[in-house]
Amino acid sequence: MTGRGHETLEHTADMGLRGWGGTPAEAFEETALAMFDLMIDKSGISAEDDYSLSIGGRDLTGLLIEFLNELLSLADVEDSAFVSISIERLQGEGEEWDLDAVIGGIPRGKCRKNLLSEVKAATWYGASVDREGGGLWVAGCVVDL
């Protein structure tokens, strides 16, 4: 792995997500984009609305799970499909972390033909956020479909 990227990984009835980048924020963004890829075909779609999200967590892995689940909740509340993400702030250490993000979305009614599958929740199964030997940060977990 080099640079930034993300992928989905087959996992029985669920799906694994993995994102990587040069910083924890990039790894979180890429993991969220992998989740969005399961939910919507983004071809020809661009964000029409921006949503702000601020959360805290006890450690980086806990923050990742909280972040992905908050994205799912926000999408349901706003009846929106998310297509882009920018983490404005990810900071902390040890047991205290905070994250601020801006998410680009489009009303589900405007993109029904592009909707793919529903992600119910991000789980703790296989959840991790680690810095690998080459310096890249890798974040991932399994999501319940």
Buried b (16+ CB within 10 A) or exposed e, 39-51: bbebeebebeeeb
Q: 15-144: what fold?
A: Archease, Possible Chaperone; Chain: A; domain 1 (3.55.10)
Q: Radius of gyration over alpha carbons of the chain, in Å?
A: 14
pLDDT (tens digit, 9 = 90+) per residue, 42-94? 999 999 999 999 999 889 999 999 999 999 999 999 999 999 999 999 999 88
Q: Domain residue spans in the chain? A: 15-144
pLDDT (tens digit, 9 = 90+) per residue, 83-101? 999 999 999 988 899 999 9
8-22, 70-84, 91-105, 117-131: least confidently modelled range: 8-22
Taking the model in full, what pTM does it have? Answer: 0.91
Nearest residue to 38 (alpha-carbon basis) of 112, 145, 113:
145
Amino acid identity of residue 64, one-letter, is L
